[in-house]
Amino acid sequence: MAMLTPPVIVKLPAWRRRLLLVLVLLGFAALLGRSVYLQSFHKRFLQEKGDARYNRTLTLPSQRGKITDRYGELLAISSPVESVWANPSDVKINANQTKRIADLLGLKVAVVDKKLANSEREFVYLKRRVSPELASEVMKLEVPGVYLQREYKRYYPAGQVTAHLVGFTGIDDKGQEGFELTMNEMLSGKSGSRRVIKDRAGHIVEDLEAVKVPQDGHDVTLSIDRRIQYLAHRELSKAVEKYKATAGAAIVLDAKTGEVLAMVNVPTYNPNNPVNIAGKTRNRAITDTFEPGSTMKTVTAAAALESGKYQPDTQIQTAPGYMNIGSATIHDAHPHGVLTVSEVIQKSSNVGAVKMSLSLEPQYLWNIYNQIGFGAKTRIGFPGEASGRVRDYKTWRPIEQATMSYGHGISVTLLQLARAYTVFANDGEIKPVSLLKLKDVPVGAQVFSAKTAHEVKDMLELVVLPGGTALKAQVLGYRVAGKTGTTHKLGDRGYEKNKYVGSFVGMAPASNPRLIMAVMIDDPSSGEYYGGTVAAPVFSTVMADALRMLAVPQDAPNNNVVISSDVEDVKESI
């Protein structure tokens, strides 16, 4: 019988046992210390890393406010769209899915691959502002890590007709031009937010806090009448094309309130697709200045009457049709001889206007120019508005005082010019202008007496009658009062010989003005350039249709229009 071998008992030395115990205790101490460090001192960092994997703060976009005309017709509105985005670190996608997404979004496969390649990024747009239907097709592919984000796309129903007023927004729905820019904060509203926990598939598991509801933007109601805006744009476009002009602008004002019922510019652009728009976004009616030419003679005559030195029938000798001031010579288009103040306006005599101006004190004239709004912004609240230029009367030389009387050596915007004529429609009171619809009729400032305003308005009626410079401004069934203007354009070396600006500003019905319209045609190159030829017909057509749209009662018989082919306009002095 075999003998059992007794077990071998190995006994560690005491020092080794102690060393092993110390090492084990140190390991536990290290783990405990690390645990304390992570849970206490490094807790915030770990919490942020954990939250970054599961917590999401979703932006809830606010809807941008609408822009409408005075009757509520839409000029700008936001439509809901979807933006497709991805979290590259979560995306699990195969080649077929990549190609399908690229096809749906109109992208190249290489572009999609590049967007999804950087797994360190947690957010990348694949395509912004796609239709809800297209976005739904993308989501049907069920690609993990690909999501949708609700946004809004701006749409402009009136398109290029109101482009210079309304403007447009950029890809982030922020205003870039026009009222979209000026009133961006009011239109934008405030975005909301929602903090949630999402799983790996992108599904919302839990809301972490109450939803912060977005605040939609406020609506903006412009003073514009979209019908009149269309009319003005149509006729201005025709005139610019017919006379081969560089540009044109037109403004229609409510004579009683100063509200802008139409403001158009040519060339224009499409705000729904604002590409290749360099040089086309400028609202020339407000941002560009020009010399008003003979339209300024109306103000000169009003200042002369208001001074008490002149009456409408006061006679002024304009023969021999020119006059010398120092080394300069001022001409009339045709010699007229003795003219009354009314005839100076009707015939558009430079000599007559100069003689009235030089008989008045420079400071008195300067005060009139300032009170009527020249040389200062209208404060209409539109970006880029120009102030124009009126030199200080202390620096005037006689020739400068003389040329300003017929609109040379002074610069205005078309809006300033239209506003100035509210004086003659409101018993001598100038009205503030507004591009926003007003609730009440604003109080203006008295510039001339009611007597002076009525007398000048009567003179302006003569301008559109036989013997005047604007037969083509007549309107069937309505009396019209207005004034033409024609000036050489200013270039780098002074006045350019063959470049002109033709303008007309008038009101109707003259018995009780309801509308004021100013038209400017810049650099017509067809051979016709007088304001009575290129600008007055635009006024006539737009005014005729607008007065009937507004149901303004007629103040003249239907046979009041003189056919211009039988009686030609008088060519005004330039």
Known catalytic residues are 294
For 315, list phi and psi in degrees, rounded to 5: -90, 140
Cα(73)–Cα(67) distance, integer angstroms: 9
Both tokens assigned to 314:
């006061």
Environment class of 457 (CB within 10 Å of its CB; exposed 0-12, middle 13-18, buried 19+): buried
* Count of C-beta atoms within a 10 Å radius of residue 259: 24
Kindly provide the residue ranges of all beta strands, DSSP E only, lying in 179-246, ordered along the sequence: 192-198, 204-207, 220-221
Find, among 470, 448, 569, the residue nearest to 517 by Cα.
Answer: 470
Structure tokens at 279: 């040089």
Contact 312, 458 (CB under 8 A): yes
C-alpha pair distances (Å), 567 with each of 228, 270, 466 = 30, 41, 7
Q: Which two tokens stand for residue 264?
A: 């158009």
Q: Are 344 and 405 in contact (CB under 8 A)?
A: no
The whole-angstrom separation of Cα 415 and Cα 49 is: 59
Query: Which residues are CB-neighbours of 494 under 8 A, at least 6 positions away?
Result: none
Containing 165, the helix (H) or strand (E) segment is helix 163-166
Per the CB < 8 A criterion, the answer to whether 147 and 127 are in contact is no
Helix (H, G, I), strand (E, B) or coil at 1: coil
Q: Which two tokens stand for residue 139?
A: 């989501």
- Positive or negative, the Cα torsion across 304, 307, 313, 317? negative
63, HSE (Cβ side, Cα atoms, 13 Å): 11
Q: Which residues contact 501 (CB under 8 A, 6 or more apart)?
A: 290, 291, 293, 485, 486, 487, 489, 520, 521, 522, 523
Tokens of 419: 């506003």
Residue 567's CB is within 10 A of a number of other CB atoms, namely 13
Backbone angles phi, psi at 553, to 5 degrees: -60, 140
For 2-9, the CB contacts below 8 A with 24+ separation are: none
Q: What SS3 class is residue 533?
A: helix
